[in-house]
Amino acid sequence: MTKKIIIGNWKMNPVSRREAREIVSGIKKTVASLRKTTVVLCPPVIYLENLIGKKPGKTLFGAQDVYWEEKGAHTGNISPIMLKETGALYVILGHSERRASGEVGEIINRKIKAAMKAGLKVVLCVGEKDRDAHGHYLKVLEAQLKEALIKIPPRLVDQLIIAYEPVWAIGKDATGVETPEGFMHNAIFIRKVLSKIINKKQAMTVPILYGGSADAKNAESFLVAGGADGLLVGRASLSAKDFGEILKIAESLK
């Protein structure tokens, strides 16, 4: 079995660096005993350098967004090179909460290309706002993938991870619960679309994670019955105990 990838998306939490350090030190205690699970934490970028420290350990770090230019007059933005310098290795791009504030496919595509060029691994989030019984939502997924991945150099595809996150299943206001079968169905569809965008062989190797209210109760079902290559965890990644349980589940799989 390939290594599962468990990524914590902290969003705009917690509100103090002290708390961030406490959560990380708790998570690191669990990570110390893992051998076959890749663990990535994506805190607010302002905490990254402090949390990563001087020498990188087994817990890897990433950001929740990055700009596409290397430098220049782009007030408020951070470039992939700057991000790399903190020791971050990953970046989440195209999250539904950023799409909701106006981020479109063309922008996500620019960000992906720039991040990959800088050597970052990209976690591209895709997911429909609504699920309809006729499968029209699949067109949404297809368009999101196609727009985001225009002209990605084939040699950089091994830096790509997809997170399938149905928007209606995300967060405390979720209106529904995704099932492992639902995930599997959509992951197969995503791979099919990927094989049209990049080549078939490469499309088979891109990890596809599940995200949307992932927690210790449903982790195993998504990873085993759903066949997910990993999880993108929001709320449950802010508790060292809850996230640690998810990590132990991923590690225990045969």
Chain residues in the site for ligand PGA (CB under 6 A):
9, 165, 170-171, 211-214, 232-235
Q: Which is nearer to ligand PGA, 51 or 233 (CB)?
A: 233
Question: Cβ of residue 224: shortest distance to ligand PGA, in angstroms?
Answer: 19
Element (H, E) at 60: strand 59-63
DSSP 87-147: T--EEEES-HHHHHTT--HHHHHHHHHHHHHTT-EEEEEE--SS--TTSTHHHHHHHHHHH
Q: Which residue's Cβ lies closest to ligand PGA?
A: 234
Q: Give CA–CA dist 211/167, Å, rounded.
A: 9
**Does residue 134 have an active-site annotation?**
no
Is the CB of residue 175 less than 8 Å from the CB of residue 168?
yes
Cα first-last separation, the chain: 7
Question: Cβ of residue 214: shortest distance to ligand PGA, in angstroms?
Answer: 5
**Does residue 136 have an active-site annotation?**
no
Q: Which is nearer to ligand PGA, 48 or 233 (CB)?
A: 233
Question: Cβ of residue 19: shortest distance to ligand PGA, in angstroms?
Answer: 17
- Which residue among the candidates 19, 70, 95, 245 is catalytic per the annotation? 95
* Residue 2 DSSP one-character state: P
3 state DSSP class of 4? strand
Question: Cβ of residue 123: shortest distance to ligand PGA, in angstroms?
Answer: 9
Q: Which is nearer to ligand PGA, 30 or 213 (CB)?
A: 213
Q: Which residues are annotated as catalytic?
A: 95, 165
